[in-house]
Structure 1
């Protein structure tokens, strides 16, 4: 199959994904610049997974939209946003959040509600940005699903980010009281913060954990409290945020489904040339085939797209998507 033989559907898919990716990146960029105060193009590029030229194009787009982003030149320069501009995250009450969650469980396709997937997606996004919830440890339910996301109730978002930024600027370690999902309890951690990033609707501290003796990520909304210590640390020169995000992307994709598709060498060049999703990874195989992997919220989003490549594409994972395509092909076989 030649590149010009690829159907119009595939190009529409690419255009749609690129448009959504840009909107998502622009929103993340606003949040990062707003809360961090001063951010460099390199740091934005690493966090968003794009190059510097794209960052500058994003800044231009924000300025055209009357978002007051300015540039400070010099050795310690970067981008900053006018202090009079403020885009505050959603701050719903406990009762409002509970109502949303209950609605998402009750309104389903079985009850003839046709927008079940869209509702669940919207509620998921609201949960992830509603970091100023007033919940406490007593609000953890039997499933552990709801208030774990809002365990950081002692301090609000602004105070946490302010302390993290101060500790990084002064080279001081942080003492955090962190809620561990695996152990279902609070643990005291000493962390040397390397970066503060905003990914998939959540803020994360990327830094060296003295207890684990390794670089880890910590969700801000799972931090019960944090204090800047008097202990001095120096960020390693060989630490790369870009490499860390590449190797630990799954940490920032909670609840999403990994999709791996093997493409025939006949169209491998085309697959490698196109940016299909913001989180994709392409691996070349010895026989000329390629493996494309990325994350989605629902396998139905990509079933028709994969089938459009015909025999040139094979789903490796997840098994659910393989079975769905197999059933679809069986139905087609019966018709023809």
Structure 2
């Protein structure tokens, strides 16, 4: 039985004679690091199992014999294996379970291939890249496996969905018929965006609050105007406080100004030096997320405008002061 590396060697061969140096170069391009002697030794071994022939020159050239029948070789190369490996690590939760199960043999094959070339660039790449979150780590809520399967399949097939859902402020669940529009993965939380019954407004449902779900046979009602990317870009997952944008003006310290030069609030952001710090101006959507971010910056920033946001921040700070300094309460 040929090894994964030997399959890769066979895949470089054609019915045109190729020198071992050419074969070695093709393998290097695939991220497979072997010596010339190793390639020659493997080709010699493979010639006893497959219809490949040498021209017996020094160094030898190799090709498939003219009489060799066409058959399919495993087509996974190291780049494909790396893609599958990282997809398993970072994308598996976004795929329907049926797709994940169908991919398992290929993922297992990818692991074996990368293990064989673990000391090459492609082989060690999964150990040298990582994604982190700077948010406070919270334990992920548990999602019922049956619910997950039913919801994903309903989205995949465009079917209606009957769920038992408990809103965050409620003590018990209620039955609802949903028309799924899409799934959004926000850190550790999965949200289903859908319309309810015959109402036109778009709603968000956290999957961990669904206690039961059943995919129905009836097709979900399509909304031709709905675009999931646009829905997210409009700030609907940041808890918008009003429609449209505001022009925000902040007085920031040097560190925050440098940070916002690297990671802008908006494309039209302007930063200018001012007495006491740096003036930051940008057009943003006013959301609860924006307010939480500003409060988290503490004394590094002062909200100058709009006045409504400044007053909201001030009221929250006053409330915090009363909590932490009860003796100062009026």
With a CA cutoff of 8 Å and minimum separation of 6, indicate the structure with the bigger relative contact order.
1
TM-score w.r.t. length of structure 1: 0.41
Larger Rg: 2
